[in-house]
Every structure is written in C-alpha cells, then in structure tokens.
Structure 1
C-alpha cells in the first residue's frame, strides 16, 4: 500500500495500543453499522490471521463493538464498549478462524435485527486505514475514506451507464468503482467512492433506475448512512 501522507503512517487520534488492531477495527465496525443502517440487535465477529491470536489482548474486540455503537477512534468509552453494548441489548458472539485470509488483520462482521441481515469482511491495513473486501456475498473493495455508494442490481446492459450518468449530471465526481456479479445476467453489486457527499434526492433517483434493487450509502465524514436493503 502507498501511504498518502504522514498521518496514514502515524494513525488517527485513538484510544488503544495499536492503530491496526484498535483504530482500524473501530472503523471497520462503523462501516459495518453504516452498511446495516442501524444499531444491530446481534453481532457475530470472526477474526482471522493475527487478529485471531491477539484480538482480546489488543482490545480489537472492544474496538469493533465500539464501531458498531458508532463511536469514533478516540472515544473514551471504547474500553467499556462491551458493557455498553450489553446495556443496549446487543447480543455479541466472537469467533476465530484458521482459514487463510488475504491480510493478517482480517475480520468478518455479521449483523442482524429480526429478519434483517448484513455481512461485511474487511482488513485493517495499518495506520488506522481499512479496506473492505466483501459485502453481502459480493467481492467489493473500497476504503471508506470517501463517501461510498453500493448499488445492488441485476446484471443488464446499460445499468452502470445509467447510474454513472445520474452522478455525472448531478456534478458528482467518481473516484473509484468496483463491480461484482454472481452470474452472467444475474445479481450484481457496484460500489462507487465519490469525492463528495450526495443528497437524498439523488439517492431516490438512483433507486428508481431500471434493474436497481436496493442500495447502501455511507459517509464516514459526517454525511450519515442510508440503507434500504434487507439482505
């Protein structure tokens, strides 16, 4: 990975011993909550690689739950996150896996409330930075450093052209895009990271596009999440 500035190496302001095992884990938890759209009633976290061996001692468990509670990396409540989650009625299950992962600091977060389900896998790649690599069964990569839009749609000609045209007409600049599909002409998902936030009206227009089923929108810089999918 190429670090863009010195703060990418030093890491953000944080509570905890490690930017990789703590600050990055908080951000992964916050992204997972944003994609889910609300505070979950149940959370299952699976740790891989070095996190599987050290998550308790390095406070990664506390950090992930803090993110699910929408805490920031420097929130002084992080050490009490498990107790606060319990008080909020959240059921938590920590697991470890010996399955090889793409990065030593990889975890999967599975969230649910009633019939609503969501799953995300991501990596803490250093300096508090993260990379999401899977969302709800689709291999989608993004960093959450910028506002991110995930559109679930049917794989048909013209879907992406219609989507990007709407963004372009609204003056939204696309910085990054990734697409995955489960089968040719089957279910697909597209993630787009943009240079700026997008308004609710534009999200509504995107949802009306032919072959679009649902979407997630997450802005870690303060724009808040939007979620209309129950996967």
Structure 2
C-alpha cells in the first residue's frame, strides 16, 4: 500500500471509484474509439447500476467521454455540455456476469464519421481503472503509462513490424501483451511505453500489413 491508496486521487467527488474512476473510464473509452463521440450507450453493471446515480457515475462517464479530467469542476453538470456538443447518450442496466467487477460499464460508442467500438471496463478502487475487453477481445489496459493499442489480424510478422518502428524512434517498451479471439482471427496488441507514440508513428504503424486499428490510449 502506498500514500495514493490512503488519500486517493485529486478529484471532483464524491467517490474515487464511482466518480473519478468513471471519468477515467470514459476518457479511456473515447481514446480507444479514436474520434469525437457522437453516440454512447452505457451499460451499468453491479454497484454502478445500483448506486451509481447517487455517486454521480452517470455524470462522470459522460464527462470522461468529452475528455474532461477527474478534477474538472464541470463534472457536476456535464449533460448540457454533452447535448450542446451533439453527443447522444443513454444508460441501461446490464449483467456482465459473476466474474465482472461490481463497478463495471460497457460502452457502445459511435464516432462522428461512423466509427464504432464496444469497450468494457471497471473502476477497481482509488481512481484506478482497467479496460477488460474491446470489441469482444478480452485484454487488460490500465492507462497508467503511455499505451499503444493495436487491433490486427493474427498473422506472422505483425509484432515485428510494430516493434521495429518503435525501435527506430527510440521508444522503449515497458510491457507488451498479446490477446486474440482464436488462432488466425482478430488479435490485439497492448504496448506500454516510456515515451508516447507520436501521430506520425501511429500512421506508419497503421500502414503495416494486417493492421486494422491503432490508437494512443490515455486516461
């Protein structure tokens, strides 16, 4: 346990898990979509569904989707701003299963140019969050470090191509994890780095063969 676990994050309250964590989940989800959100359906599970409204979880999730941080005073009243920005949003209660963390949400997002993505994540306490699935691929993303998310076909050479570009740019890999639906199907690469990957390098990675989507993930 460190001092962060004791005092929690600097945030707009009332709850580090239901408010600050929910904001961070929204920000992560928007960055994974990779464009401005035009429509969001948020499925609330467990405690998020039962007590979230009283803790401001609904307001926090919408705030995060607009890119606001967890210490932004506007979190108290984000709905008018979302409507002014043309963001349609709705909430529903869902059952994500017994293994899902009680503070969990499933985002079904639509972007301004028709991009779509389904993202499931949890607020695990003290403002910490964990993305657990993207488009039905189970994975783990915390957003605590600069993170590169790459959705790709499960083919030989994809990992080598991505790491070659990072090495050429002197971007050091702190941790890399691989996930896939099944052999030869969709796969996901989650790369935590010491330095953020710039837009130009994102484009180079996106041009590689078998790459479907590449995103800088930030919370």
Pairwise CA distance, 1:127: 0.9
CA spacing shift, 1:41–1:217, aligned 2, 3 Å: same
Q: Which runs of 4+ in 1 moved over 3 A?
A: none
Deviates more, 1:183-192 or 1:120-129: 183-192
- Note the 1:99-114 alignment, pairs <5 A: 99-100=96-97, 101-113=99-111
Distance, in Å, in 2 between the alignment partners of 1:88 and 1:170 is: 37
- Note the 1:1-231 alignment, pairs <5 A: 3=1, 5-100=2-97, 101-113=99-111, 115-220=114-219
In angstroms, what is the RMSD of aligned CA positions? 1.7
Distance, in Å, in 2 between the alignment partners of 1:151 and 1:38 is: 16
Distance, in Å, in 2 between the alignment partners of 1:201 and 1:177 is: 21
Pairwise CA distance, 1:210: 2.2
Structure with more strand by fraction: 2
CA spacing shift, 1:14–1:115, aligned 2, 3 Å: same
Three-state SS of the structure 1 residue aligned to 2:137 is coil
Residue correspondences, number: 217
Distance, in Å, in 2 between the alignment partners of 1:109 and 1:9 is: 30
Q: TM-score, normalised by structure 2?
A: 0.92
Gaps of 5+ in 2: none
Gaps of 5+ in 1: 221-231
Distance, in Å, in 1 between the alignment partners of 2:96 and 2:201 is: 41
Distance, in Å, in 2 between the alignment partners of 1:200 and 1:50 is: 38
Deviates more, 1:30-39 or 1:121-130: 30-39
CA spacing shift, 1:116–1:209, aligned 2, 3 Å: closer
Three-state SS of the structure 2 residue aligned to 1:112 is strand
* 1:23-51 alpha-carbon deviations (Å, 9 max, x no partner): 00000001111112232121111111111
Three-state SS of the structure 2 residue aligned to 1:209 is coil
Pairwise CA distance, 1:196: 1.3
Distance, in Å, in 2 between the alignment partners of 1:216 and 1:176 is: 16
Pairwise CA distance, 1:8: 4.1
Three-state SS of the structure 2 residue aligned to 1:17 is coil
